[in-house]
Amino acid sequence: MDVSVGARTVRLFFSVFFLLFVQLFATQLAYAQGSGAATVLTAGRAVNDSFSTSGWKYYKITAQGRLRVDLSELSADVDLYVRTGAKPNANVYQCRPYLGSTLAESCVLNLNQRRTVFIGVRGYQSSSFKLRAQVIQPVVQLQENRGRRGNVAANSWSFYKITAAGDMKISVFNMTADVDVYVRRGRKPNLNNFSCFTNNAGLAAEVCRMRNGPNPQTLFVGVRGKSSRASFTIKAKQETTFTPTVLSNDVPVYNSVAQGAWRYYRIAGTGRLDVRLDNLDADADLYVKKGNNPPSTSNFDCQSSRAGTEADSCNVTLSGGQSAIIGVYGFRAANYRLRATLPSFQPGAPTQIYSGQVVSNTVTQDNWRYYRITGSGELSVDLYNLTADADLYVRKGNTNPTISAYSCASNNPGSISDSCSVTLSNGQSAIIGVKGFSSGATGYSLRANVESPQNSTDFTAISMNQVRSSSVSQDSWQYFRLRTSGDVRVRLYNLSNDADLYVRAGDYPTLEVNDCVSARGSTAADECTVNLGSANQYVYIGVFGYRSASFSVQATRPFGGGGNSGTSSIRFDIADGCNDGYRINYRFFDRDNNLRWPAGGGVYYTSALNQTYTSYLSCETGGLVCYGAESSDQYFTWGVGINDNSGCTDCCITCEDGNSLSRTLVCE
């Protein structure tokens, strides 16, 4: 055998084996690490991508602060890898959730300085996904009336928050460079969404004044740096003054209150004090506190804060010539009439109360006090702070409960608290009765609360142009679903309190994921327009309760965008059921098309009690037509009000042939 030939054969064998090993190693390395340039991401902007087979895709972003990377909407198993300064691979990374299946994955990195972060997405088969990287700005908690030093880089944000009620003054001062200040209720402000914005030139102090109303709300403050890094002092302060005016019993006073300001009144006496705030031309709220100290948005014995120009009323019981301080808070700059009376109690007439309201009173042995509440959902009633024995009865509907006719009763002995729970549907009323059992007068406190059942992803089906009126609890959702195509305009209106509108095609919207959001704050109407393309699909409408609120929602075609055209005929039947000796004046309004009936400054009116007056209206098809009415002495109002400046839940119909609405207007 030729030794040289054998040696060459051995060398050839090992060379081939080595080349095969190198190729296999390179293939495995490429599969573990991937190759190719990294796609640059924009902070906060999602990208959609896909794999046709197994492999890697790389992305990068340069940022500073708290960076969050989200991988979502997976069609198959895809994994997320994140690394600072260089591409990650299957063995080297700083974050790899590795959850498997189609579960969404997230990574968060804290970057003390500006760094480039590389993101690797690894696919194992044909698949698609969504990727988003965003810088999460920290929010610093402010303490009321206490200044805090802060700083912000050029073209960057520093965020702060404070939860408070009443009139708040937000000040930014002692700056080393120019900054702008943005304030927003409930969420961080940005360049396009804010409740207050101030941009004084140079080093002049920036001041925003916010009117939070009667309930504590969270204000978010954004300080934005301009051309250079700046240090500053930020301070939040509540502003209130107390100057009571003495009232005479049952004598009305007429006055005005500035937006975010208070007016105070004092009255003294014995018995049930009834206070009514009405004749409002804008939104103002009513507070009453027994004693000589003024009420506030968080300290009162009774409060009423109905939306818009709806009348507010309160009652408390005074003993031994006790004083009470009445506060009128201007949610908007408003003119008003205020009347305080100490009449004898009418035991058969229910007192209107609202969800969450606490009333305190007394009841004598074998006598009753009645209260009415209206809502949808679970009604819970608590009778507590009892000084002796009294019993609790609740009856659904508009009939007073008795000891033998009720929906729920609780009669614990002595001063033990009583409670009842019933379910109300579709804005149903319930009458609450408190019956005295012990001799003498028994003092008590009563609280009724309606919890909306819509706290999950249930939805109500609606159709185009249909008006749906409902309610939503604070921090809960009400969902509606519509199947259509093309441009859709969604309007949220007739708000009794602050709620926000979210719209999304194909799935439920959330605070973070939606196609359109409108959050104007307070009771201002919200509106969204989305395009669904040429094929029919589902669009989901979400109403989020920033506060517990009633509302109306409607989906229509945008005007000038392929909507209905022409006119239709509708009918309203109005009857005067208010036996107060005054006629009722009324009008009709189409807010969408800026129409009013009768035209000009005239009114329709009733001339006889319990007689129905029919109006046939020719209106623009698809418009929303509402009635507004007012007693001729201007004491009672109904619907949207005689000047179309109130909200309502059931006073409007869509302009379509054959639609009608019948209402008997009663004194309540």
We report the CATH number of the domain holding residue 516 as: 2.60.120.380
Q: Both 272 and 310 in a single domain?
A: yes
Q: How far apart are the first and last CA of the chain?
A: 120
Which of 141, 140, 314 is closest to 214 using CA atoms? 314
Q: Both 125 and 146 in a single domain?
A: no
Among 431, 450, 469, the domain boundary falls at 450
Cα 145 to Cα 522: distance, rounded to the nearest angstrom: 25
pLDDT in tens, 138-168: 788 888 778 888 888 888 888 999 987 767 8
Of 24-28, 120-124, 395-399, minimum mean pLDDT range: 24-28
pLDDT in tens, 399-434: 888 877 889 988 888 888 888 988 877 557 889 999
The pLDDT of residue 5 is 52
Kindly state whether residue 379 falls inside one of the protein's structural domains: yes
The pLDDT of residue 564 is 37
Q: Both 409 and 273 in a single domain?
A: yes
Among 238, 267, 299, the domain boundary falls at 238
Q: Is the pLDDT of residue 453 over 60?
A: no
pLDDT in tens, 293-343: 788 777 889 998 888 888 899 989 887 667 889 999 888 888 999 988 875
Which amino acid is residue 444, in one-letter code?
Y
Q: Both 583 and 489 in a single domain?
A: no
The pLDDT of residue 215 is 61
Cα 329 to Cα 300: distance, rounded to the nearest angstrom: 13
- Give yes or no for a contact between 498 and 546, defined as CB atoms under 8 angstroms apart: yes
Residue with tokens 């004749």, as numbered in its chain:
279
Q: Both 300 and 403 in a single domain?
A: yes
pLDDT in tens, 513-558: 667 777 666 787 888 877 777 677 888 898 888 788 899 998 887 6
Q: Residue 614 corresponds to which tokens in the numbers above?
A: 């029919």
The pLDDT of residue 272 is 83
Q: Both 271 and 225 in a single domain?
A: no
Q: Residue 384 corresponds to which tokens in the numbers above?
A: 């507590």
The pLDDT of residue 560 is 36
Total domains in the chain come to 5
Q: Residue 400 corresponds to which tokens in the numbers above?
A: 């007073």
- Give yes or no for a contact between 252 and 311, defined as CB atoms under 8 angstroms apart: no
Cα 88 to Cα 96: distance, rounded to the nearest angstrom: 10
The pLDDT of residue 25 is 46
Kindly state whether residue 33 falls inside one of the protein's structural domains: no
> Percent of the chain beyond pLDDT 90?
20
Residue with tokens 């059992």, as numbered in its chain:
437
Cα 532 to Cα 92: distance, rounded to the nearest angstrom: 43
The pLDDT of residue 17 is 56
pLDDT in tens, 167-191: 788 999 999 999 999 998 888 888 8
Q: Both 130 and 146 in a single domain?
A: no
The pLDDT of residue 31 is 46
Compute the average pLDDT of residues 36-60. 89
The pLDDT of residue 132 is 92
> Percent of the chain beyond pLDDT 70?
85
pLDDT in tens, 81-107: 999 999 999 899 999 998 888 888 999
Kindly state whether residue 31 falls inside one of the protein's structural domains: no
- Give yes or no for a contact between 325 and 318, defined as CB atoms under 8 angstroms apart: no
Kindly state whether residue 18 falls inside one of the protein's structural domains: no
Radius of gyration of the chain, Cα coordinates, nearest whole angstrom: 32
Q: Both 384 and 341 in a single domain?
A: yes
The pLDDT of residue 56 is 92
Q: Is the pLDDT of residue 61 over 90?
A: yes
Question: Please, is 646 exposed, middle or buried when counting C-beta atoms within 10 Å of its C-beta (0-12, 13-18, 19+)?
Answer: buried
Extended beta strands in 143-188, E state: 148-152, 157-164, 167-173, 179-185
The pLDDT of residue 34 is 52
Question: Please, is 640 exposed, middle or buried when counting C-beta atoms within 10 Å of its C-beta (0-12, 13-18, 19+)?
Answer: buried
Identify the helix (H) or strand (E) that includes residue 290: strand 285-290
pLDDT in tens, 198-252: 888 888 889 888 876 556 778 999 999 888 889 999 998 876 555 678 887 777 8
Residues forming beta bridges with residue 168, ordered by sequence position: 210, 238
Cβ neighbours of residue 55 closer than 8 Å, sequence gap 6 or more: 31, 34, 122, 123
Cα 304 to Cα 313: distance, rounded to the nearest angstrom: 6
pLDDT in tens, 610-655: 888 887 776 778 888 899 988 876 667 888 888 887 777 788 998 8
Kindly state whether residue 389 falls inside one of the protein's structural domains: yes
The count of other CB atoms within 10 Å of the CB of residue 624 is 22
Cα 140 to Cα 159: distance, rounded to the nearest angstrom: 6
Strands 652-654 and 302-304, how do they pair? unpaired
The pLDDT of residue 455 is 38
pLDDT in tens, 571-606: 889 998 887 667 788 888 887 777 787 765 567 788
Mean pLDDT of the chain: 81
Cα 424 to Cα 428: distance, rounded to the nearest angstrom: 5
Q: Is the pLDDT of residue 377 over 80?
A: no
Q: Is the pLDDT of residue 113 over 80?
A: yes
The pLDDT of residue 514 is 67
Among 136, 168, 187, the domain boundary falls at 136
Kindly state whether residue 62 falls inside one of the protein's structural domains: yes
Q: Is the pLDDT of residue 114 over 80?
A: yes
538 vs 52, residue with greater confidence: 52
Identify the helix (H) or strand (E) that includes residue 302: strand 302-304
Q: Would you call 579 helix, strand, or coil by DSSP?
A: coil
The count of other CB atoms within 10 Å of the CB of residue 14 is 10
Q: Both 653 and 571 in a single domain?
A: yes
Q: Both 64 and 171 in a single domain?
A: no
Q: Both 143 and 269 in a single domain?
A: no
Cα 567 to Cα 623: distance, rounded to the nearest angstrom: 10
Identify the helix (H) or strand (E) that includes residue 317: strand 312-329
Where in the sequence is the domain holding 495, given as residue range(s)?
459-556
The pLDDT of residue 144 is 78
Kindly state whether residue 71 falls inside one of the protein's structural domains: yes
The count of other CB atoms within 10 Å of the CB of residue 476 is 19
Cα 416 → chain centroid? 37
User: What is the Cβ-side half-sphere exposure of residue 668, based on CA atoms within 13 angstroms?
Assistant: 17
Q: Both 574 and 514 in a single domain?
A: no
Which of 527, 528, 534 is closest to 486 using CA atoms? 534
User: What is the Cβ-side half-sphere exposure of residue 141, based on CA atoms within 13 angstroms?
Assistant: 3
Compute the average pLDDT of residues 265-289. 87
The pLDDT of residue 531 is 75
Against a cut of 0.75, is the pTM above it?
no
Cα 656 → chain centroid? 31
Compute the average pLDDT of residues 362-376. 82
Q: Is the pLDDT of residue 565 over 70?
A: no
Cα 301 to Cα 421: distance, rounded to the nearest angstrom: 24
Kindly state whether residue 342 falls inside one of the protein's structural domains: yes
pLDDT band at 563 (very low <50, low <70, confident <90, very high): very low
How many residues are given for the chain? 668
